[in-house]
A and B are shown apart, each in its own frame.
Chain A
Amino acid sequence: MFDALTKSAARNIFYGGSLAFLLIFVSLTAQSHMYVVNNSTAKAPITDGVVLGKHVWEKNACINCHTILGEGAYYAPELGNVFVRYGGDKDPAGAREAIKTWMKAQPTRIEGRRQMPQFNLSDKELDGLVDFFAWVSKIDTQNWPPNVKG
């Protein structure tokens, strides 16, 4: 069967097919883009705090230890649902304080335990970070992760 295929036929199949698949993919991502903006992330608005929080998250390269929605390094806990893990869905103010206190207490310097650096964030930055975590926890992720442990 492979012998019957000529080189130019193989070439045409490659170029034509790849272009077709690329077009399908781009259309589907365009539709997904609209779905993300209008549905799955529409439960909570992207406030200035959320924007600041995402910036703090990136500036300190948090993703190179943690994961968020399962993507990142696998050295430290998943943070997509950290707000819920701290009880933020029931007591947002309590979760906020707990996360901020945790951040301020690092590093623990306990021997044999993974260390999180002290990032010396201002109170505003810490609040932004929590706003960001709260916002992420409301994304419709098709029920991932399987449980609150992340």
Chain B
Amino acid sequence: MKYESQKVALAYFIVALALFAVQVTVGLVAGYVYVAPNFLSELLPFNILRMLHTNSLIVWLLLGFFGAAYYLVPEESETEIHSVKLAYIQLLILVVGALGAVVGYVFRIHEGREFLEQPLWVKLGIVVGALIFLFNVSMTVLKGRKTAITNVLLLGLWGIAIFFLFSLYNPSNLSVDKMYWWYVVHLWVEGVWELVMASILAFLMLKMTGVDREVIEKWLYAIVALSLFTGILGTGHHYYWIGTPSYWQWIGSIFSSLEVLPFFAMVLFTFNMVWKRRREHPNNAALLWALGCAVLAFFGAGVWGFMHTLHGVNYYTHGTQVTAAHGHLAFFGAYVSLNLAVMTYAMPYLLGRQPYNQVLNMLSFWVMSSAMAFMTFTLTFAGVVQTHLQRVLGQLDFMQVQEQMTLFYVLRLGSGLVVVIGALMYLWSIFGPAKPELITREGAAPAE
């Protein structure tokens, strides 16, 4: 850690990981409810569980992004953060908002559009927190060195704030509502979040492989160009069946099929940089997470997204467990892994320790990733059965079809349990007592 103010990231990462624990635990409970539907049905019905699961995910990922930005911007800009105090005030606002939302949900205080259930005061708190953040980081970047990594990261973070403003618009016409709802949801995860993802991966590659900045930043621009060229019009794959014109079936099918490209480019990028590396960085676990992030994002967001994005296919699979399968692996691969990668990289510096408990950390990668992959397979099979029975044959009612899928839900619950175990292993490797490394690599020298 070169700059004192980078320490801010530590507080963000700790809160983010605490919410990560909440997210997977509630996910496990919800997975259990699928198998034993009477469990908690009156105390905490499924809709509340799901809100807790999805909202805690989104908030912890965002807190992770903010923390990553506060960590990498000083190093990139070669200057201290504009105001450390503002960074902590921002965190406080976001934590109060997040806790307020979580406690409120339990007591049935919420708005009701999917993922945007936060009460208005929490939404406004998020906007204020985001504005403080953008001011703080922009001021830091403006007074220091400008790099492609900070440019793209800032653009992504500004985009997150700007598109979030559409969450305040809730027209009474459901179709219009849905159209702009996707301005937040799609243009976040398949748009500006990819800018954040690519820039953080670029930062990690820069630090861990020692490849020339010129090369890495050219890759970065190429990747984010692919992201936005495909992702913006790719929004059309959500405009097939909500009352919007039929030309979206063409635009959405073509552009969202191409959304595989930026993720494939990220795989090529990360593996190429590692092959061409000029130094051996001691943090093997962070490298594993970074490479794993690119690969799992390619499968989860790219391949599993493509699987049901053509409108002729989507006509039958829309809103089935196929979507759930894609959602789970895409979020885990792209954004969970990204956050865990940058945390694995930064934590040893933030805590003033050598890379530690790496073997346990790497084991947690394999445990979580294989369990998530297994979960994705079970949900995909469930989705295929559902699509066939409910949409193609159309003889059985929704609930009768669901009964045919019980086996897959049991298997999904098992994989969910393993994910929670993997998450606990990760947390232990980060926060548990540091042990001497079990393995070291020849010639590994601490990098800057």
Chain A contacts to B: CB under 8 angstroms: 2, 5-7, 10-11, 13-14, 17-18, 21-22, 24-25, 28-29, 31-33, 35-37, 40-41, 46, 50-51, 54, 57-65, 67-78, 107, 109, 111-115, 117, 135-136, 139-142, 144-150
Contacts and interface: CB of A to CB of B under 8 A. Distances in A.
Contacts of A6: 218
A68 B174 contact: yes
A115 B243 contact: no
B140 to A, nearest CB: 21
Interface string B388-424: 0011101111110010000000000000000000000
Interface string B209-239: 0000010011001101100110011010001
B113 A63 contact: yes
A115 B38 contact: yes
6 contacts: A13-B221, A32-B179, A46-B173, A61-B47, A62-B112, A69-B242
Contact of B318 (A63, A64, A70): A70
Interface size, B (range): 35 or more
B229 A17 contact: yes
A7 B37 contact: no
Contacts of B232: 18, 21-22, 24-25
Residues of B contacting A: mostly? helix
A108 B193 CA distance: 42
B316 interface: yes
Interface of B: 34, 36-38, 41-42, 45-48, 50-51, 110-114, 117, 148, 170, 172-176, 178-179, 214, 217-218, 221-222, 224-225, 228-229, 232-233, 235, 239-246, 248-249, 251, 315-316, 318-321, 323-324, 390-392, 394-399, 402
A150 B228 contact: no
B244 A32 contact: yes
A79 B421 CA distance: 36
B38 A61 contact: no
B110 A61 contact: yes
Contact of A40 (B37, B243, B395): B243
B313 to A, nearest CB: 12
Contact of A63 (B38, B114, B323): B114
Contact of A75 (B38, B46, B111, B172): B46
A12 to B, nearest CB: 9
